[in-house]
Amino acid sequence: MKSTALKAGQVGRGHGPSLAWRLYKRIERGIVPVLLIVGWEIFSRSGILPRALLPAPSQVLVAWADWVFATDGNTQSYSGHWVLDVAASSFRVFSGFALAALLGIGAGMAIGWSRTVENLFEPVLQILRPVPPVSLIPLAIIWFGIADKPAIFLVFMGSFFPVLLSTIHGVKNCDRNLLRAGAMTGGTPSKLLLYIVFPAALPSIFSGLRIAIGSAWMLTVTAEMVAVKSGVGYVLWDSYYFLRYDIVIASMVSIGLLGFLSDYVIKRVGAYLLRWQRGSTLQKEG
């Protein structure tokens, strides 16, 4: 049975969505952010709170511009260093995230596929999983010192379990009929795992990767506040000591945008690799 008709105005004369509808869909995601920024600007200028404690977006933008482009030097030692700070944080995030993705997917496939492997490793994993990665900061500093390594380690610990658990879930929920059909055609366990189970688990794996990249950005900022002397998180914490709350907020927004872009890339890669799933969904609806 075909899906219900599209909303009025969405289709224009049989040629797909109308120009007005496409324009609305483009600006739709920006409506709430714009309203929040305008409201923030008005509230900051109202004087209810001192502007030093809650800088207006316009003030934050001026500080951010100098941090990025060294426009007037108002951010002093941070002026013009934004790219370097972002590069330092990104290196730690993607290094730890890549390790977590590789080990999490590999371990998740093994645990989800083999009951023996699950029985061997599940008790240890269930004990380690509730431990907050932040609590490992003292050990990370003792083991790795003050450098990139403790931050990468913390990012890895924060990203590993979302990928692992999502992969296990995807493997265990693979359609058993597909496995039986593959086995009947002579598929070996390794081929079944590679050509049936892994593709079937990909939707769950990408869900875990999207959760993990958010955790990765949160953990690298936490690590940079304590164990590292560079990066966006370090700038956030250091500027707090100098009461530069405009730079603090600019750092927070930078982290949010970087996390958003990272998630967007993973989402687009997942949409490309899982385009077969979108096709099958449309066939079911048709």
Other C-beta atoms within 10 Å of 114: how many? 15
Sketch out the chain's domains with CATH numbers: 1-48 (no CATH), 76-285 (1.10.3720.10)
How many residues belong to the chain? 286
pLDDT at residue 5 in the model: 42
User: What tens-digit pLDDT sequence spans the chain (286 residues)?
Assistant: 444 444 444 444 555 567 788 777 778 878 888 899 999 999 988 888 888 888 999 999 999 999 999 998 888 889 999 999 999 999 999 999 999 999 999 999 999 999 999 999 988 998 999 999 888 988 988 998 888 899 999 999 999 999 999 999 999 999 888 888 888 888 888 888 889 999 999 999 999 999 999 999 998 888 888 778 889 999 999 999 888 999 999 999 999 999 999 999 999 999 999 887 765 543 443 4
Residue owning tokens 């075909």:
2
pLDDT at residue 223 in the model: 86
User: Quick one: which of 63, 93, 96 has its CA closest to 81?
Assistant: 63
HEC string for 160-172: HHHHHHHHHHHHH
Those residues whose C-beta lies under 8 Å from the C-beta of residue 235, and which sit 6 or more positions away, are 67, 78, 81, 85, 247, 251
Return the C-alpha torsion angle 202, 204, 209, 212, nearest 10: -160
- Report DSSP letters for 108-154, one per residue: HHHHHH-HHHHHHHHHHHHHHTTS-GGGGHHHHHHHH-SSHHHHHHH
pLDDT at residue 182 in the model: 85
In whole angstroms, how large is the CA radius of gyration of the chain?
24
Q: Give the largest Cα separation in the chain, rounded.
A: 75
pLDDT at residue 278 in the model: 65
User: Quick one: which of 77, 74, 81 has its CA closest to 238?
Assistant: 77
